[in-house]
């Protein structure tokens, strides 16, 4: 099988990914519009059929044709940002994986076929996250029509291939000996790859949904109202089915910082009183996808490394404490955020 990253330049592959991403973004925007049933992306009259048929032109159609000649229905800028954003995300992912080795770790070496299969599955995940983000920004909901099929697809790909994981179900670096013995990985993982794929994906699904469900309960108590919706729970469950439980823990830890950064920016730029949390969960998942190697192999000292925390229950308790602390920090800032006057929908 040809090796795309050696036969073609990463720049060319990135450009091709951008074009594919723009087209995929058009589909995601149309899907989000149908699910949210909003007028901006809808069809009001017969003339709109021809007007929206120009969507196949993606960016060109969005910029060239701004309104329907029959009823004046305008094409929203949200569609343009989804198309352009999906293209940029696809290109960034390809460059990060192909040129920077963003998912290269010593524990996981998939064969060439499933190396590309893993890449394709992650592009599908990014596309689903874009569609979910579009509906969440627009209507403050994440439809089950996006997340539930996404979960089924993630688990099905993991079980069918047995080789799309970026990290195995269990890897214990606490018993490794430098230059003599690597991490402990159970033997059954190699001998039963498909069952391992199923267990790995389901563990990620449960971890993603479970952590977000706990955060939902804590935020409801802390703020005396619901701050996370059930769509956020299913969104992280879907992402976990594609990534596994260790990466989804990283995403959960990064999400509050993404929310703080982007939330403050949204307040300053748009003066909004409420910002949905789903897009920041999606942003954290994408950061894990393009930064997995550095997150997993981060080692501030010779005796302490991030991956050691995932090998025993004490380390997992420490991670849980960090997650709760980060969530409490976010909720405290959210209280202050809501005290600032802003536009309400």
The whole-number pLDDT of residue 95 equals 93
- The confidence score (pLDDT) of residue 42 equals 46
pLDDT at 163: 87
Core vs surface per residue 280-301: b (16+ CB within 10 A) or e: bbbbbbbbbbbbbbebbeeeee
- pTM, two decimals, is 0.84
Using an 8 Å Cβ cutoff, are 292 and 166 in contact?
Answer: yes
3-state SS, one letter per residue, for the chain? CCCHHHHCCHHHHHHHHHHHHHHHHHHHHHHHHHHHCCCCCCCCCHHHHHHHHHHHHCHHHHHHCCECCCCCCECCHHHHHHHHHHHHHHHHHHHHHHCCCCCCECCECCCHHHHHHHHHHHHHHHHHHHHHHHHHHHHCCCCHHHHHHHHHHHHHHHHHHCCCCCCCCCCEHHHCECCCECCECCCHHHHCHHHHHHHHHHHHHHHHHHHHHHHHHHHHHHHCCCCCCHHHHHHHHHHHHHHCHHHHHHHHHHHHHHHHHHHHHHHHHHCECCCCCHHHHHHHHHHHHHHHHHHHCCCCCCCCCHHHHHHCHHHHHHHHHHHHHHHHHHHHHHHHHHHCCCECC
pLDDT under 50 in the chain at which residues? 1, 38-43, 47, 49-58, 60, 64, 66, 180, 343-345
């Amino acid at each position: 099988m040809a090796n795309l990253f050696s036969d073609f330049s990463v720049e060319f592959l990135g450009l091709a990914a951008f074009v594919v991403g723009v087209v995929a973004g058009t589909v995601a925007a149309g899907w989000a519009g149908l699910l949210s049933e909003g007028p901006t992306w809808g069809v009001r009259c017969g003339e709109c059929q021809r007007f929206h048929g120009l969507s196949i032109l993606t960016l060109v159609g969005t910029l060239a044709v701004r309104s329907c000649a029959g009823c004046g229905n305008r094409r929203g800028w949200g569609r343009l940002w989804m198309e352009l954003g999906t293209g940029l995300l696809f290109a960034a992912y390809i460059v990060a994986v192909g040129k920077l080795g963003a998912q290269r770790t010593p524990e996981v070496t998939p064969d060439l076929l499933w190396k590309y299969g893993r890449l394709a599955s992650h592009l599908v995940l990014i596309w689903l996250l874009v569609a979910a983000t579009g509906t969440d920004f627009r209507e403050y909901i994440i439809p089950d029509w996006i997340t539930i099929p996404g979960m089924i697809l993630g688990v099905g790909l993991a079980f069918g291939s047995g080789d799309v994981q970026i990290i195995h179900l269990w890897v214990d670096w606490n018993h490794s000996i430098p230059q003599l013995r690597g991490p402990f990985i159970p033997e059954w993982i190699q001998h039963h790859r498909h069952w391992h794929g199923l267990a790995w994906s389901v563990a990620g699904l449960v971890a993603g949904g479970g952590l977000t469900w706990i955060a939902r309960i804590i935020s409801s108590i802390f703020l005396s109202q619901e701050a996370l919706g059930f769509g956020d729970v299913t969104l992280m469950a879907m992402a976990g089915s594609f990534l596994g439980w260790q990466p989804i823990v990283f995403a959960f830890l990064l999400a509050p910082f993404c929310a703080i950064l982007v939330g403050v920016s949204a307040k300053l730029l748009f003066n909004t009183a409420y910002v949905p949390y789903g897009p920041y969960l999606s942003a954290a998942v994408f950061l894990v996808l393009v930064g997995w190697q550095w997150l997993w192999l981060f080692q501030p000292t010779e005796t302490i490394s991030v991956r050691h925390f995932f090998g025993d229950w004490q380390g997992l308790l420490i991670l849980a404490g960090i997650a709760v602390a980060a969530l409490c920090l976010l909720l405290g800032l959210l209280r202050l955020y809501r005290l600032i006057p802003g536009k309400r929908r």
